[in-house]
Each structure stands twice: as C-alpha cells, then as structure tokens.
A and B are shown apart, each in its own frame.
Chain A
Amino acid sequence: MEPKEIADAIKDMYPAEVLDIREFRGQVSVIVKKDRIKEMMRYLHDTPEFYFDFIEDLCGMDYLGRKEPRFEVVYHLLSHRHKHMIRIRAEVPEDDCAIDSVTDIWNGANWHERECFDLFGVSFAGHPDLRRILLPEDWDGHPLRKDYPLKSDLGEKEWKGYKEVLDTAVRNKGYEVR
C-alpha cells in the first residue's frame, strides 16, 4: 500500500486519535495521541493488509518551546511482506511523561525504549526491564533534552565516576588537574 493510503486507513479506524497527517518527500507521518497507542500498534501489526512485522526504529523527540506537548515518541514501522513503511509520532506531554510500551508486540522495541527512557526521560508503562542503557545508572538528567547543556562546568556536582578517575590520576601519577 502507498503510505498515504495507510495513513488514511489509520484515520478511518481511529478518527479521534489521529491529530494530523503530514507528507514530506514521499514519507508520511501520522501524528497521534498517546492514549491508545498500544492498541493501534497491535492493529497495525496484526491486520493482514498492513502486517507491520518489523520495527525499524523507535526514538524520542524534544520540541522544547516550539510545540506543545513537548515530547514525541517516533515509531518507524516496516512490513517485510508488503514492503511498505509508515511513521507514527505519538505526542507525550511533559507533566505526564509516560507512554505504553510496545515490547510485547515487537521484541526489537525493547532496547530502543530503554534508550528513549535514558536520553529523554520518557517512561514506558509495561516495559519488562526499564533501566538506563547508555549512561551509568546514577547519572543525573537526560542528555538529549533540548534544555540539557552541551557543555558545562559542574564542579562538585560532576558525576562521581568521573571524579573518581580524576582523583586516581592525581593520586597515582601526581598530575595536576586543571
């Protein structure tokens, strides 16, 4: 199916959920509410005409100051049988920063969701093992948020693993850390 047809079919099935459909360079994004996202994904996975058996990608987005609600979780789905793809963007507000996990539909979503939790702070309800994945467990903050600084001098608030490395270097080698 053409991406536009898929988007229209989703809108017919979930008229109250679909907020917008956008097309750019032949790729179609369906912007949806987050409340029934799991049901919608299950429908896209199970219905024979769509048969989205493969989750290419799942990632977070932060539109701080540009759009309300602030966050989005973006799903890229592909069907190996029908060779078509679609992008679903689910809006997640900052004060209720959680969305249903799709891990039991696609196992491949597991680590992507953990990464999104780690770097954006969006939590996934029903995820079997929601822990930080790329950053240390005691890390403070979510780096891919737009209000997280690229570079800053944290001084005493620096991550303790990094301070330990510096302290050891000073102790063993007599370096001076500036």
Chain B
Amino acid sequence: MDARAPRRIVVGEADFDAPALQEALRAACAARAGAVAAFTGYVRDFAPGEPTSTLYLEHYPGMCERELAEIGDTALGRWDAAGYVIAHRYGALDLGERIVFVAVAAAHRGDAFRACEYIMDALKTRAPFWKRETLQDGRSFWVEARQSDFDRARQWEPDPPPSTENDNG
C-alpha cells in the first residue's frame, strides 16, 4: 500500500456531503484514479410491514474509526486501489437519510468495485455500530445481526479457517 494514498474516515452525527467526499477523493488521487466506485446506504424499513419511524445508531468511539481504517487499508493492500473514503453516521436518523458512504478510487473498475464491496461487507460485521429501530406505533428494538451479512463477509476471506471455534463468546 502506498503510504501517501488518500485515506479518509468520517464518523459523525451530522449528515455528510457524499458527492463532495467522492470528488475530494478523486482529486486527491489525481491521474491514478481512472475509476471511482461508490456505495451509499440509507435508512430503510427493517421489519417488513411495520413502518420504521426512526433509527438510532449507537457506536464505540475510537474503535469505530480504528476498525474502519483497518478495513480500508486492507482493501488498499489487497487490490490495486489508489485511495478510499469511508463515512458513517451515528445518533438519530430518519427514514431515507444517509447512514454510510464508501468510495474507492483505482486505476481500473474491477479493483474499485471489488475494494468498495469488500469494505462494505467487512464494515457490516466489524465496525462497532448498533441500530435501534423505533416503529411508527412506538415499539422499539435493537436490530438483530443477519447471518447473510456474516456469510458475505466470510466470502472475502482468502483461506476460510476450519470452524473449530464458532467465536461467539
């Protein structure tokens, strides 16, 4: 990984300007960025048929930033990517608001797509955020982690270890 590669982590309560973050990444990577792949995640209904009213995201300050940077740096080391930006919000969010944004710049689209997808998949199972959903009728609950997210993250492991320990604490 190029030590001068543009790497940026934004963890905050306020909304972030995704297009500006993407453009800043592209500009910082200058001529090396033949491609920029970006992903934006928004608040949606989590329980089908039960309209979400608001979402609250709790986070672990410090570990969030560290974990996200480690995920991004792993992506830069694994693919031929020139730089990344990862933004994630916490606090109270309304339906349709941005939660997360990832952009990766690379010389070619394949590396940009794969690194961006890897970062999102790793983030879902590693970045210490927890969603609490409140429905329109006032009921409230912590969102359960989904097996499909773990399965997706596991697909990126270069050499899946035998499941001698299921690591559930």
User: Are the chains A and B members of one assembly?
Assistant: no
Q: List A residues at the B interface (Cβ < 8 Å).
A: none
Q: List B residues at the A interface (Cβ < 8 Å).
A: none
